[in-house]
Amino acid sequence: MMKILLVEDEPLLGNLLRERLAREGFDVTHAKNGEEGFELLKKSVPDLVLLDIILPKMSGFEFMEKVRTDSELQSAPPIVIISNLGQDGDIERGQELGAVGYFIKAKISMEDLVSKIKEYMFPAT
């Protein structure tokens, strides 16, 4: 079973995403802040990280910077950002830090998000 680490502090959205992805057959671990997410990532590296940017204790950008500089995480999983931050500068920063996808919460449906996650996890050959 493919594993997803969901790092999302909004309880409603976090629960919706976790339940929907579980129904799609993914094993989802949900962290409610960046610090908890980073600790979970170090304990068990998932196949993909679904990451919010505005988080308590450690922002999504700080999370990504720590992943990039941690010698134990040289083969870090793909990171997909889902955020309310939609400015070009935010998207560029996410890409510079290594995000494979960046989605604005208000502009993507749950169906489209799940479809995109599957594309990242199961790229067409």
In the chain, where does DSSP find H-type helix? 11-23, 34-43, 60-69, 88-96, 110-121
Counting other chains too, the contacts that 62-65 makes at CB distance below 8 Å and 24 or more residues apart are 62/34, 63/7, 63/34, 63/37, 63/38, 64/94, 64/97, 64/98, 64/99, 65/97
A 10 A CB-CB count for 98 gives 13
Instruction: Say what the pTM is.
Output: 0.92
Tens of pLDDT, residues 20-54? 999 999 999 999 999 999 999 999 999 999 999 99
Contact (CB, 8 A) for 48 and 23: no
80 pLDDT band (50/70/90 cuts)? very high
Q: What does pLDDT average to over the chain?
A: 92
Contact (CB, 8 A) for 28 and 18: yes
Check residue 125 and give its pLDDT. Answer: 57
103 pLDDT band (50/70/90 cuts)? very high
* Nearest-angstrom CA–CA distance, 60 and 112: 22
Domains located in the chain, CATH noted: 3-121 (3.40.50.2300)
